[in-house]
Amino acid sequence: MKPLPDYNHSVVEQLNVLTASGELKADPAQLEVAAQLDRILTDLKIRKPAKKKSALGWMFAKKAGLAHSAKGLYVHGSVGRGKTMLMDMFYQLAPIEKKRRCHFHEFMADVHNRVHAHRQKLKNGETKQADPIPPVAAQLLAEAELLCFDEFTVTDIADAMILARLFTELFAHGCTLVTTSNVVPDNLYKDGLNRSLFLPFVDMLKAHVQVVSLDSPTDYRMEKIKSLPVYVTPLGDASDRAMDVAWKELTAGSAAEPTEITMKGRIIPVPRAVGRAARFSFSELCEKPLGASDFLAIADRFDTVFIDHIPLLNADKRNETKRFIILIDAFYDHTVRVFASAAAMPEDLLVTRKGTEGFEFDRTASRLFEMRSADYLALHNEKRPAT
């Protein structure tokens, strides 16, 4: 996509410019969401700033001087309909200095880290504030009065239990939330443990955001992916370029950032991520002490994974071969979309076929072939985890 029009344009105007240039197709559903985003842009320009400037000052304000917040937006709909693109446009235009754009999982990981840090301070006698939520909320609001989340989802009970209290503080003191999701708010944390305790957050959320559906008839991302090579070989400059082009296309050119997945007290580093897409090298996945549970956590967090530089697998790489087999099994079972660059076609990757690895790798090769098919792509799109 070409660079977005300048700061003074609205989201609707940006869509019209891109449609007129032929880069986008006219889409009434997208225009409707764009109009709602422009409404928030206008509200942000006229909003009253918080009277308390410090990170902790408003904690003690009680009922006095609460900030006026612009009513936010919750955009839900199927994948590939343009939610991320519209969020990109809105965030660039938002006339506010203190703003934050991130994936919802990343935000919640940050919240839990801050809560842990506060509890350590309490344990060390550095604070007398027993409840970590007010100071954590104060820190977050001091950094960002506008929060923009990609892929709002709640699957973890720890997240579910903290959200209501956290956003009671944030909303009460002027925070505006704009978020995308694949499900309506009423289906967040569906069938989750102790969900009745989570429902007050859903009611509060709906009171502070306008809920809109983006049900465009076209899955634009599916159209793009169909034309992209998903398995390139042999390794070299040409395959690297092909992977880079596919990554840029899939992520709409958004800047990738490192992130982490917290897994039972351990950290799984993700070197590059944009939304629900992640990019690893073979060595970062299969030459590290990772196992099935780690690969399943990656498959749960991301629905598209790029794997660069899969080498030939010989007898010296037995552990790496085992991990690669487990990795592909996990991704296949979760219908993860895999883009890969490799030294050879799947059936030729395993040079030394001995023992159980040789037998199991036949399944891996077969799955790598199937994961390139149009049928698998359709299944991937249909069965991706609701967020």
Quick: pLDDT tens for 318-367.
Answer: 899 999 999 999 998 888 999 999 999 998 999 877 666 777 888 898 88
- What are the tens digits of pLDDT across the range 93-143? 999 899 999 888 788 888 999 999 999 999 999 989 899 999 999 999 999
Whether this prediction's pTM lies above 0.85 is answered by no
pLDDT for res 53: 47
Mean pLDDT of the chain: 84
pLDDT for res 103: 80
Q: Do domains 11-213 and 220-383 have the same CATH topology?
A: yes
- Using a 10 angstrom Cβ sphere, with 0-12 exposed, 13-18 middle and 19 or more buried, the burial of residue 110 is middle
Domain 220-383 belongs to what topology?
Answer: Rossmann fold (3.40.50)
pLDDT for res 60: 44
pLDDT for res 237: 95
Residue ranges for the chain with pLDDT beneath 50: 1-7, 52-56, 58-66, 385-387
CATH number, span 11-213: 3.40.50.300
pLDDT for res 223: 55
pLDDT for res 227: 53
pLDDT for res 157: 84
Q: Can you list the pairs that 39-44 forms with residues at least 24 positions away whose Cβ atoms lie under 8 Å?
A: 40/70, 40/71, 40/72, 40/73, 40/90, 40/176, 40/178, 41/10, 41/11, 41/90, 41/93, 41/94, 41/95, 43/70, 43/71, 43/176, 44/70, 44/94, 44/95, 44/96, 44/146, 44/176
Spans of all domains in the chain = 11-213, 220-383
